[in-house]
């Protein structure tokens, strides 16, 4: 059946061209496509065989998921049914991801800092789902994705709480399994017939040990909630619930407390593929785990990625001679992409600034030789801030990328 999917490349599904086969398994496949919504953009289209008994249910779940909105949750654009070579199919069009976490951990474990920066946005998205009455149900490394320099978790598999047997506590269990896996490159070992909790390796950092232990309680009512994990991750102590069973009412109440927490933006820093600085994020097919391990997610298939060290890209105050620029943002470049530079890569962005000092519009003035670096510059330019003025302004931001770093020269335009 995989041959069938590969032969679909170049065809059109309900107006969506299948530009490139990105990967998949026997029952599903993902292709690069184009979505012409408010702004034309690259997107991913997931195809799967239509089952008459579950088609309406799945389309309904996708419809509900498409109405969810959170900065760390993958957006769903379109869904529907189609026949290709007389084969009935379901499709869903979603955001395009450059990378996923399952392509990193076969190469190396994440550092403590990277793990925290993965957990923070993922927890924020999970808290939003749970408080909105949804459960993810399929947390695993391949569903932690890098989109436009930030981390998002998949949304095409979410379902309403009560529509099945899954609960928020199941998401917490899967999160605990994923946490141990990203830090050790292995799933916790335990026996499904054993009443004891899975053993958490002593080698992982103390704060993550505590989170993993409380996430991997065999009794779902004794597991920490997402809000409590957020609390511990921020450095605050969590009131122990002991060995007593947490009532379902208390579990629901705690879930809503996270609405008062500050949502922390995070970035998943992972390598780019060999083919290009920005590449696709294929969906990993399900795999069977050994009898000695158990998880709500399959272990990712090994891939030959290249090690990467994280670099920060945060807004930084800038005080030029005339005080006209309040904040500049430098693009975050994946190390593999930076190492591919020969000499320098230059691109310019024209920003139109409103009287309040905010960027109202940003467009590429010159694209340079690489669309990847041009997109980085464009996204960074949109986050600049300028001093308030009597009227609109126009600035040209000249970005220069080299192996040694990134520079930007802001020039105020008279036009």
Question: pLDDT digits over 256-275, tens only?
Answer: 333 333 333 333 433 433 33
The tokens of 133 are what?
Answer: 């009455």
Q: Give the per-residue pLDDT at 37.
A: 76
Could you tell me the pLDDT band of residue 2, with boundaries at 50, 70 and 90?
low
On whether both 162 and 83 belong to a single domain, the answer is: no
Round to whole Å and give the CA distance between 14 and 12. 6
Query: The domain spanning residue 91 has which CATH number?
Result: 3.30.200.20
- Residue with more model confidence, 287 or 39: 39
Q: Is residue 286 part of a domain?
A: no
On whether both 203 and 342 belong to a single domain, the answer is: no
φ/ψ of 118, rounded to 5, equals -80, -45
Round to whole Å and give the CA distance between 406 and 399. 7
**67-77 mean pLDDT:** 94
Q: Is residue 163 part of a domain?
A: yes
On whether both 184 and 47 belong to a single domain, the answer is: no
Q: Give the per-residue pLDDT at 287.
A: 38
On whether both 63 and 111 belong to a single domain, the answer is: no
On whether both 104 and 91 belong to a single domain, the answer is: no
Round to whole Å and give the CA distance between 213 and 206. 11
Q: Which domain holds residue 81?
A: 2-95
Q: Is residue 272 part of a domain?
A: no
Q: Give the per-residue pLDDT at 257.
A: 36
- 90 touches 55 (CB < 8 A): yes
Write the pLDDT tens digit of every residue in 104-156: 999 999 999 999 999 999 999 999 999 999 999 999 999 999 998 889 999 99
Round to whole Å and give the CA distance between 98 and 285. 18
On whether both 109 and 247 belong to a single domain, the answer is: yes
Q: Is residue 161 part of a domain?
A: yes
Could you tell me the pLDDT band of residue 63, with boundaries at 50, 70 and 90?
very high
Could you tell me the pLDDT band of residue 354, with boundaries at 50, 70 and 90?
very high
Q: Is residue 83 part of a domain?
A: yes
| Closest to 389 measured CA to CA, from 352, 350, 348 | 352
DSSP-derived 3-state class of residue 83: strand
For the purposes of burial, counting CB atoms within 10 Å of the CB of 357, is it exposed (0-12), middle (13-18) or buried (19 or more)?
Answer: middle
On whether both 73 and 160 belong to a single domain, the answer is: no
Q: How many CA atoms lie within 13 A of 137 on its CB side?
A: 17
Q: Is residue 306 part of a domain?
A: no
> Taking all residues of the chain, what is their mean pLDDT, rounded to a whole number?
79
Q: How many domains does the chain have?
A: 3
Q: Give the per-residue pLDDT at 5.
A: 86
Could you tell me the pLDDT band of residue 62, with boundaries at 50, 70 and 90?
very high
**59-74 mean pLDDT:** 94
Write the pLDDT tens digit of every residue in 181-218: 999 999 988 777 778 899 999 999 988 999 999 999 99
Round to whole Å and give the CA distance between 331 and 320. 19
User: In which element (H, E) is residue 183 found?
Assistant: helix 168-184
Domain finish residue from 260, 283, 304: 260
The tokens of 183 are what?
Answer: 């830090």
On whether both 64 and 173 belong to a single domain, the answer is: no
Q: Give the per-residue pLDDT at 323.
A: 61
| Closest to 122 measured CA to CA, from 18, 30, 230 | 230
Residue 289 has pLDDT above 60, yes or no: no
Global pTM value = 0.59
Q: Is residue 29 part of a domain?
A: yes
Q: Give the per-residue pLDDT at 158.
A: 95
Query: The domain spanning residue 212 has which CATH number?
Result: 1.10.510.10
- 38 touches 64 (CB < 8 A): no
Return the CA Rg of the chain: 23
Round to whole Å and give the CA distance between 331 and 377. 6
Task: List the single range of 142-146, 290-294, 308-312, 399-403 with lowest mean pLDDT.
Answer: 308-312
Query: The domain spanning residue 372 has which CATH number?
Result: 3.30.2420.10
Round to whole Å and give the CA distance between 183 and 178. 9
For the purposes of burial, counting CB atoms within 10 Å of the CB of 163, is it exposed (0-12), middle (13-18) or buried (19 or more)?
Answer: middle
Residue 286 has pLDDT above 50, yes or no: no
Beta strands in 211-358 (DSSP E): 316-317, 325-328, 345-353
Q: Provide the residue count of the chain.
A: 415
What are the CA-CA distances from residue 205 to residues 104, 166, 178, 302 (Å)?
Answer: 19, 30, 15, 25
Domain finish residue from 240, 260, 280: 260
Could you tell me the pLDDT band of residue 415, with boundaries at 50, 70 and 90?
low
The tokens of 15 are what?
Answer: 């107006």
**374-385 mean pLDDT:** 87
- 255 touches 226 (CB < 8 A): yes
φ/ψ of 30, rounded to 5, equals -125, 135
Q: Give the per-residue pLDDT at 24.
A: 83
Round to whole Å and give the CA distance between 372 and 369. 9
**DSSP bridge pairs for 328:** 316
On whether both 58 and 155 belong to a single domain, the answer is: no
- CB neighbour list of residue 79: distance below 8 Å, 6 or more residues apart: 59, 62, 63, 66, 90, 91, 92, 93
Q: Give the per-residue pLDDT at 160.
A: 94
- Residue with more model confidence, 361 or 253: 361
Q: Give the per-residue pLDDT at 246.
A: 45
Task: List the single range of 22-26, 46-50, 87-91, 139-143 with lowest mean pLDDT.
Answer: 22-26
**296-323 mean pLDDT:** 38
Sheet-wide strand order for 393-402? 359-366, 345-353, 393-402, 405-413
Q: Give the per-residue pLDDT at 195.
A: 83
Round to whole Å and give the CA distance between 189 and 170. 18
Q: Is residue 285 part of a domain?
A: no
On whether both 201 and 130 belong to a single domain, the answer is: yes
Domain finish residue from 235, 260, 285: 260
On whether both 76 and 111 belong to a single domain, the answer is: no
Could you tell me the pLDDT band of residue 310, with boundaries at 50, 70 and 90?
very low
On whether both 125 and 256 belong to a single domain, the answer is: yes
């Amino acid at each position: 059946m995989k041959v069938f999917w590969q032969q679909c490349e170049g065809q059109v599904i309900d107006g969506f061209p299948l530009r490139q086969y990105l990967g998949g398994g026997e029952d599903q496949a993902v292709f690069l496509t184009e979505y012409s919504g408010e702004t034309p953009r690259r997107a991913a289209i997931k195809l799967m065989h239509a089952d008459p008994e579950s088609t309406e249910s799945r389309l309904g779940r996708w419809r509900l998921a498409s109405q969810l909105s959170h900065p760390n949750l993958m957006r769903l654009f379109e869904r529907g049914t189609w026949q290709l070579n007389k084969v009935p199919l379901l499709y869903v069009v979603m955001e395009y991801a450059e990378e996923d976490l399952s392509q990193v951990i076969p190469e190396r474990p994440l550092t403590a800092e990277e793990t925290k920066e993965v957990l923070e946005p993922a927890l924020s998205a999970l808290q939003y789902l749970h408080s909105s009455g949804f459960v993810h149900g399929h947390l695993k490394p391949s569903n932690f994705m890098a989109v436009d320099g930030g981390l998002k978790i998949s949304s095409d598999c979410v379902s309403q709480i009560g529509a099945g047997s899954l609960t928020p506590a199941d998401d917490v269990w899967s999160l605990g399994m994923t946490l141990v896996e990203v830090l050790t490159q292995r799933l916790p070992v335990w026996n499904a017939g054993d009443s004891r909790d899975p053993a958490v390796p002593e080698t992982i950092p103390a704060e993550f040990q505590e989170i993993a232990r409380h996430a991997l309680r065999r009794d779902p009512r004794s597991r920490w909630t997402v809000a409590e994990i957020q609390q511990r991750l921020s450095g605050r102590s969590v009131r122990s619930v002991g060995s007593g069973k947490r009532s379902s009412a208390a579990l629901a109440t705690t879930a809503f407390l996270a609405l008062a927490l500050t949502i922390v933006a995070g970035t998943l820093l992972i390598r780019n593929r060999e083919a290009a600085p920005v590449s696709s994020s294929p969906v990993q097919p399900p795999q069977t785990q050994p009898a000695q391990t158990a998880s709500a997610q399959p272990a990712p298939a090994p891939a030959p990625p290249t090690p990467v060290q994280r670099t920060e890209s945060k807004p930084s105050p800038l005080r030029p001679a005339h005080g006209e620029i309040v904040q500049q943002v430098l693009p975050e470049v994946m190390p593999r992409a930076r190492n591919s530079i020969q000499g320098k890569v230059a691109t310019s962005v024209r920003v139109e600034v409103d009287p309040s000092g905010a960027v109202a519009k940003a467009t590429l003035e010159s694209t340079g030789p690489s669309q990847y670096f041009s997109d980085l510059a464009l996204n960074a330019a949109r986050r600049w801030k300028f001093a308030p003025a009597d009227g609109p302004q126009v600035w040209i931001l000249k970005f220069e990328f080299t192996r040694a770093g990134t520079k930007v020269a802001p020039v105020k335009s008279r036009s």
